Structures are given as C-alpha cells and as structure tokens.
Amino acid sequence: MPTNSNKPKPLRIGFAGTPDFAAESLQALLQSKYQLVAVYTQPDRPAGRGRSLSMSPVKQLAEQHQVPVYQPQSLRDTDAIAELKALKLDLLIVVAYGLILPQEVLNIPSMGCWNVHASLLPRWRGAAPIQRAIQAGDQQTGVCIMQMDAGLDTGPVLHRISTAISANETGGSLHDRLAQLGSQALLETLSAADREKLAQAEIQPEQGISYAHKLSKADAQVDWHQPAEVIERSIRAFDPWPVAWAMLDAERIRIFSAQIIATTSDSTPGTILAISETGIRVACGVGQLEISCLQKAGGKKISAADYYNASRQSAGKQQVKL
C-alpha cells in the first residue's frame, strides 16, 4: 500500500519553564497529540530547612513522563546553544522560565519561540503581572500567546483570552485561573497553526504599556497613609506571596485579609481604632481597614476573633501604632 508522502511531519516542540504556572501548560502539552522532545528548566535549587536541592515543578512533571530535561545555568553559554541546536526544534514554548533567551536562541527553532504570558499585553509586561493587576485595581486581565523577540514581552501577540478580576480575587486564585487559561490558549494556538488558521500576529500598540516589576518582601510592607481600598487590594494581591505585613504592638504580623470601612478617621494613619471579634480596625490615609485574618511571627494564621480573645486582657492597645 503506498504511503502518503505529503503527510506533514509532527512538530518537534521544546518546552522551557520552571514554576507551577508553567507546569500547567506542560501538563496540557503532555496530554495532547503534540510531540514534546525536550524540557528546559532552571537548575535545582536549595530549599527547605535542610537546604537540600529541590527540583522545579516542571522538572518533576517532565521526569514523570520520561521527557529529557536540560538545566543549563545560562542560555548564553556556547555549549548550551549547541545542545539546543542539536534538538532541531520547530518550536520552543516558554512559560515563566526565568532565564533570558538571547536572539541567537530565539532564532534556533524554525517557528521561533512562543511565550505564555499572564496579562493582556501591552499591559503588565514583566515579572509579576498577576499581582500587579490586582494591586492596581484592574477589572480585567487574561493571557497572551506571544511570538518572542529580544525585548521584554514586546513581541507580537498570536492569541489572547480575557477574564474578569473578581472583587475578592487573591494573587493565588488568579494565578491558578490564569495558569489554566494559559494552557487552553496554548493548545488553541497550536491547533490553529496545525490547520493553517493562525491569525496574523498582532503588533503590540505603543499606548497602554505598563511594567509589572518583580515582587519583593519590601513591597509587601503596608503603608497606612494610602487609601484603605489601595491597601486592601495589595493584601489580596500579595496572598500567598510575599504576604502583606505590618508592625502590631511592636510585633511583626502578616495580613491575609481585611475589609474596607468607608468612614475616615481623624486619627493618624496606622492608629488602631478598635479591636473586636470582627476585626482589628486601623486608620488609613482615606477610610479605615478592618483586619480579619493575620499571622504572628512563628505562628499559624488566626482570625481576628482569636486575636481578640488572646489579647483583650491587655490594656491601651487603642493607642498602639501599626
């Protein structure tokens, strides 16, 4: 029986990613019809109290499925570039990899490199688009599949999916939703390319560009001079990391949830106005905030009621500054 010599060969796809967000897209690829020939992830890092080397979520998943894993320290290294060239990839999919891809690497796959990015580009280019969108009060976000170029998330967009940001959204809940949307958008883009139905890439406009700078623990310190609604958004954005924090009665606490009280106090921002079973009410630059879930240093998350019951015997707390 004659063979169909015109049947296209399956794409040779590589994947580069490191954290849980990337593992969601890798899982979708592993469960799809596409040929995944290699996975790139960052080198194992010390983690935990014992500081033993820990594999990234992407590496763990790749090894479970017997996909070859590569962990170069840098993709600027001559040997690493030669190794990548030897794979003869048609496409490299990049999701929160964490290493810079120089132009020489971007040029290696015949179809270039696609990036799964957790924002509606050009808004929130950069390292922390999920948290910055919540912090800024955006009502909508989404994911983009971007054809990578040498700039910071500046490449043309192949596909995008939008989603609303809910009023109680946290960095963790939005991360999980966008990870799923990212894997969906990736498979949809690959399917469109298969059927030669891929829309022409959309050049990012010059208007509306913003940058999501990398998060740090210093970013999470509460500034009580800000309006209550701004602080409340930051608390949600920084849950589960780096977690908003402040000083309470000379003790550092982490804050996981709080409610906005519209009434503005004449007290100095940071003054505790009341402590009750419903919360710890604090004066802000505009309005008040009632902390409802917190964590003392070395302790567990507790409710405001638990904190109140443990501290109501102490006097004078109404004058303590956060």
pLDDT at 135 over 70: yes
C-alpha 121: how far from chain center: 15
pLDDT tens, 172-206?
999 999 999 999 999 999 999 988 888 889 999 99
pLDDT of residue 3: 52
pLDDT of residue 318: 46
pLDDT of residue 315: 47
pLDDT of residue 207: 96
pLDDT tens, 11-29?
999 999 999 999 999 999 9
Burial class of residue 306 (count of CB atoms within 10 Å of its CB; 0-12, 13-18, 19+): middle
pLDDT of residue 317: 47
Asked which of 1-10, 77-86, 253-262 is least confident by mean pLDDT, the reply is 1-10
- How far apart are the C-alpha atoms of 167 and 228, rounded to whole Å? 14
Mean pLDDT of 115-120: 98
Q: Please, what are the domains in the chain?
A: 12-212 (3.40.50.170), 218-319 (3.10.25.10)
Confidence band of 46 (pLDDT split at 50, 70, 90): confident
Pairing of strands 52-54, 140-147: unpaired
C-alpha 175: how far from chain center: 6
pLDDT tens, 276-321?
989 999 999 999 999 999 999 889 999 988 988 887 655 444 444 4
* Tokens of residue 132, six digits: 């910055």
CB-based burial, 42-77: b 16+ in 10 Å, e otherwise: beeeeeeeeeeeebbbbbebbeeeebebbebeebee
